[in-house]
Amino acid sequence: MEKLSVVTGVAAPLERSNVDTDQIIPAVFLKRVTKTGFDDALFYSWRQDPGFVLNQPVFQGAQILVAGPDFGTGSSREHAVWALRDFGFKVVLSPRFGDIFRGNSGKQGLLTGVVPEEDIEKLWAAIEAQPGVEFTVDLETRTVTVGDLTVAFDIDDYTRWRLMEGLDDIGLTLRNESDITDFETRRESWRPTTLPARAQ
Amino acid sequence: MTDNPVSGDVERTAAPRTLAEKVWNDHLVVKGAEGEPDLIYIDLHLVHEVTSPQAFDGLRQAGRPVRRPDLTIATEDHNTPTVGIDQPIADLTSRTQIETLRRNAQEFGIRLHSLGDIEQGIVHVVGPQLGLTMPGVTVVCGDSHTSTHGAFGAMAFGIGTSEVEHVLATQTLPLKPFKTMAINVEGTLRPGVTAKDIILAVIAKIGTGGGQGYVLEYRGSAIRALSMEGRMTICNMSIEAGARAGMVAPDQTTYDYLKGRPHAPQGADWDDAVAYWDTLATDEGAVFDAEVNIDADALEPFVTWGTNPGQGVSLSDTVPDPSVIADHNERAAAERALEYMDLAAGTPLKDIKVDAVFMGSCTNSRIEDLRAFASIVKGKKKADGVRVMVVPGSARVRIEAEAEGLDKVFEEFGAEWRFAGCSMCLGMNPDQLAPGERCASTSNRNFEGRQGKGGRTHLVSPVVAAATAIRGTLSSPWDLDADAPAGAPAAAASDEQKVGA
């Protein structure tokens, strides 16, 4: 996983709330078995509309998405993160995220920063005043800067550290392998096992 | 996470604890330092074809084995066709996902129930049916409706594909403790009002984000009176309120459902398990981070009018007027929803005509759900021009339904009786709505395009779906009673919640 500390890039506004993962990537794209190449699927339905924000030339190559509250609610599909990442986004800012989406993001190197609604509106205003303007998102200081405007975003310490170090989850856990083995030796015999299969 | 008591503190175990705290604590492999996640052991990992291929790919790339194939089980559900299941799957990408799962299960030594197998079905129907889901265990699956299994007093939640890979490799997950919310549902449901109406009312009350960061514990006399199927319906939709998990404390209803199932504990293990399960209920005096009260006596059949599951009202109500919503984001969402749904504010819900009725999904496709639907449609004909699809949750549910003659009831009614799978809940297989079609659906999500591009979904209970299929407009069994000539038996009375499993 790539280390991430400062992202400077074009910010695109998504002035909608409750953007669920079905909108981020419709279920039909979940049939793929690869882990990359989902850029064409991002916001598939909305992108059929030529007026949709990400179809506007000024927002091509955007790396920062500024969204309304409750971004990434609904289905657990991690493809939503892959689609955002493959499209080029490194950061999503919103007043509130769906829990599973946010967890998935941290593991894939996509920064999800919680920004109070009034500040999101200021960021939207900055983009509206100057479409295509670049934001600087600094994970070290947990701030977003555009021109004279600097607003803070919230991210927990652990996810921030993980993103900054570019650390793989499984490798981290396997440092505790002896604890896992100890736990397994204590596991009660009534707890479920799938093998050997028992018939009805 | 100082405001966060779920993980508790090992030294404070004498203090009253909630059900969620107890299950969490008993799965602590490593207690995280302040602000860091705990490492939690996973008792049961359910796998399906959609969210697993990239996880197995990751293992292969890193040269890692599946740590505990004996705590892992896979089934095919999201993509599977519900007709012609003996034919090759026509859709190439669907077939690829299913063939990929079959290859991965073989390569990594995982038990798989494939299309055509008697235990194949929706992953959240299969786990409980086999007796693998039980109280006091942790259950994960790469599917947000894993919350279903919390009905047994398990801690069960959906995970993403990275986490699927993580659990396959380590049988653990690094997790931050959840906060706890009590959903107290006191009173007695009227006939025709079901578990589905309880959960739709809960979501309408707290909103699609209201449960975020919480485990919901459903409590109170109305929850105690529910069957396991009803409890599963409620826990299933916890995610639609934003919560990762929903739980119900185990009781005799739970034990009666579980005992004798293939993978339920047997002999002395059963006694040990019950002795432990009896200790799981939330202690007197335990404090929840939040509480919500729902009056079961006042509940009516519920229906959604919009494009998120929180946009619901009683069926006797009218389509709400967005202009009276104070919060501007919610108002904009409501306006957009009405436009998508092609509905005008003030329209009585009961005037809305449907094109299709979908009876199925992990929310409502168990045998009791099919019985409830059949009890309403028995001996009747569906409304002209309405397509009615009945999709059992598993191959076993299908067989059980046929043994009871329910398939005949559905066919005589004019419904399509299908094979098991997720089907029109999310339209990954050919079971989809056409653009503009309107559906009364027993599933869990009314998102734009969920059941097919341009399709319009109203979430309802099985008995409301049945009454709607009869009348052709959104209806409840109460309306059938009103239609019936004086002295005719009341349809609603046949909707018994407590049917044996």
B160 to A77: CB separation less than 8 angstroms, yes or no: yes
Choose, out of A104, A158, A173, the residue to mutate when testing the contact with B (most B CBs < 10 Å): A173
- Nearest chain B residue to A80 by CA distance is B160
* pLDDT of B4 over the 70 cut: no
A30 to B78: CB separation less than 8 angstroms, yes or no: yes
B51 to A193: CB separation less than 8 angstroms, yes or no: no
- B187 burial (CB, 10 Å; 0-12 / 13-18 / 19+) is middle
* pLDDT of B13 over the 70 cut: no
Count CA within 13 A, CB hemisphere, residue B28: 19
Amino acid letter at B225?
A: A
* pLDDT of B1 over the 90 cut: no
pLDDT of residue B482: 85
Amino acid letter at B361?
A: S
A27 to B450: CB separation less than 8 angstroms, yes or no: yes
**A173 contacts in chain B (CB < 8 Å):** 39, 166, 169-170, 172, 174
Please state, for a pLDDT cut of 70, what percent of chain B lies above it. 94
| Chain B nearest C-alpha distance from A161 (Å) | 10
* pLDDT of B411 over the 80 cut: yes
- Nearest chain A residue to B145 by CA distance is A75
Q: What is the pTM of this model?
A: 0.84
- Nearest chain A residue to B214 by CA distance is A99
Q: Region B456-477: what's the mean pLDDT?
A: 98
- Nearest chain B residue to A30 by CA distance is B50
* SS3 state at B473: strand
**Burial call B17-46: b when 16+ CB within 10 Å, e when fewer:** bbbbbbbbbbbbbbebeeebbbbbbbbbbb
The angle, 0 to 180 degrees and rounded to 10, between the axes of the packed helices B161-170 and A99-107 is 70
| Chain B nearest C-alpha distance from A8 (Å) | 27
Count the neighbouring beta carbons within 10 Å of the beta carbon of residue B95: 15
Give the model confidence (pLDDT) of B229-278 as tens digits. 999 999 999 999 999 999 999 999 999 999 999 999 999 999 999 999 99
Token look-up 């740590």 returns B67
Give the model confidence (pLDDT) of B367-405 as tens digits. 999 999 999 999 999 999 999 999 999 999 999 999 999
Q: Quick check: B47 and B110 in contact, CB under 8 A?
A: yes
Nearest to A158 among B37, B44, B54 (CB): B37
Q: CA angle, corner A22, sides to A19 and A28, nearest 5?
A: 155
Q: In Å, how far are A21, A23, B12, B382 from B338, measured between CA atoms?
A: 20, 17, 51, 27
Choose, out of A38, A99, A162, the residue to mutate when testing the contact with B (most B CBs < 10 Å): A99
* pLDDT of A30 over the 60 cut: yes
Residues B232, B245: Cα–Cα separation, whole Å: 12
Point out the least confidently predicted range of A65-79, B78-92, B206-220, B397-411. Answer: B78-92
Strand order of the β-sheet with B290-295 is B245-247, B214-219, B179-186, B290-295
| Chain B nearest C-alpha distance from A96 (Å) | 9
C-alpha closest to that of B253 among B153, B370, B392 = B153
Give the model confidence (pLDDT) of A166-180 as tens digits. 887 898 899 899 999
A31 to B427: CB separation less than 8 angstroms, yes or no: no
Amino acid letter at A167?
A: L
Average pLDDT for chain B: 93
**B276 contacts in chain A (CB < 8 Å):** 188, 190
* A127, two tokens: 């983009």
Please state, for a pLDDT cut of 70, what percent of chain A lies above it. 100
Which letter does DSSP use for residue B378 in this model? T
Give the contacts of B403 (CB within 8 A, at least 6 positions apart).
none
A31 to B96: CB separation less than 8 angstroms, yes or no: yes
Token look-up 């919310």 returns B181
* pLDDT of B2 over the 70 cut: no
Q: Quick check: B418 and B141 in contact, CB under 8 A?
A: no
Count the neighbouring beta carbons within 10 Å of the beta carbon of residue A152: 13
Give the model confidence (pLDDT) of B130-187 as tens digits. 999 999 999 999 999 999 999 999 999 999 888 999 999 999 999 999 999 999 999 9
Residues A63, A40: Cα–Cα separation, whole Å: 16
| Chain A nearest C-alpha distance from B325 (Å) | 15
Q: Quick check: B375 and B494 in contact, CB under 8 A?
A: yes
Helices (H), ranges, B241-327: 252-258, 267-277
- Nearest chain B residue to A23 by CA distance is B448
Q: Quick check: B93 and B78 in contact, CB under 8 A?
A: no
Q: Is the peptide bond before A196 cis (omega within 30 degrees of 0)?
A: yes
B269 to A199: CB separation less than 8 angstroms, yes or no: no
| Chain B nearest C-alpha distance from A151 (Å) | 21
Token look-up 């997950």 returns B173
**A198 contacts in chain B (CB < 8 Å):** 262-263
| Chain A nearest C-alpha distance from B469 (Å) | 27
**A195 contacts in chain B (CB < 8 Å):** 69-70, 111
Q: What value of ipTM does the predicted structure carry?
A: 0.89
Give the alpha-carbon dihedral of A45, A47, A49, A51, to 10 degrees.
140
Q: Region A31-56: what's the mean pLDDT?
A: 91
